[in-house]
Amino acid sequence: MTGTLYVIGVGPGDPELLTLKAARIIREVPCICVPKGREEGSSLALSIVKKIISLDSKNIIEAHFPMRKTKKSSDMSELDTKWNETVATVMGVLDSGTDMAFITIGDPTVYSTFFYLYYRLLELNPSLTIEIVPGISSIMASAARAKISLGLADEKIAVLPATYADDISAVLAHFDTVVLMKVHKVFDRIILELDKAGLTNKAVYISRAGMDDEEVIHNITMLRGKELNYFSMVIVKK
């Protein structure tokens, strides 16, 4: 019997934001897989879980999840080699009949590297049993901390990775709420676009929502030129 792969969102940082289901499955499975090798909190998912669940008796696999920043990156062959190693490791555990939890911060369907693994696993074994357990996304956690409604009644919501700075003005014109993800590298450009649209005072910056060092800043112009956290976003609510 091939093992089941549980893909578990562990939420944005506060361990109490794990779901009951996530906590139960993590307690039950003998093996946990977590991405490693990325500068930004590669072991953040693991550190969140460790605060409330003892992992001492479990087999922890830290696997390479090389990231493409866009779908058109050039260095695909090196990425492919590393990915193939990760896929082989995961498949080896499952083939031995062991259930595994792949843990990821936030929610697995919202900009999580898991889906790269998913498509590769399915290629090798289309009948693999994979269950995705949703987690609290940083988007909802940030809105909660800033006390912003992302949408009410007939309002439209857009979520943009900040790499799409060129699209911001058009999206601001047509949507009621715009969530700009990972703004740390393009923040001054974002301020520029918000100023142009007259929406700077409708924007809130949220960093590390729900964590001890959380920041919620309404006067976002004061952040211009500053070094910002990787886990940050701007929510614009007209």
**Sites of contact with its own copies (CB under 8 A):** 9, 11, 14-21, 23-24, 52, 67-71, 107-112, 115-116, 118, 130, 132-137, 140-141, 143-145, 147-161, 163-164, 167, 170-171, 174-175
- Among residues 105, 113, 133, the alpha carbon closest in space to that of 23 is found at 133
In the bound complex, what is the minimum distance in angstroms from residue 138's beta carbon to its own copies?
10
Please tell me the distance from the alpha carbon of residue 163 to that of residue 185, in angstroms, as a whole number: 9
Nearer to its own copies, 152 or 226 (CB): 152
In the three-class reduction of DSSP (H, G, I as helix; E, B as strand; rest coil), residue 162 is classed as helix
Q: What is the DSSP string of 167-221?
A: GHHHHHHH-SEEEEESGGGSHHHHHHHHHHHT-GGGEEEEESTTSTT-EEES-GG
Q: Which is nearer to its own copies, 154 or 226 (CB)?
A: 154
Least distance between its own copies and beta carbon 47 (Å): 16
In the complex, minimum distance from the CB of residue 212 to its own copies, in angstroms, rounded to a whole number: 15
Dmax of the chain from CA atoms?
Answer: 59
Please say which residue, 15 or 41, places its beta carbon nearer to its own copies.
15
> CB-wise, 160 or 199, nearer to its own copies?
160
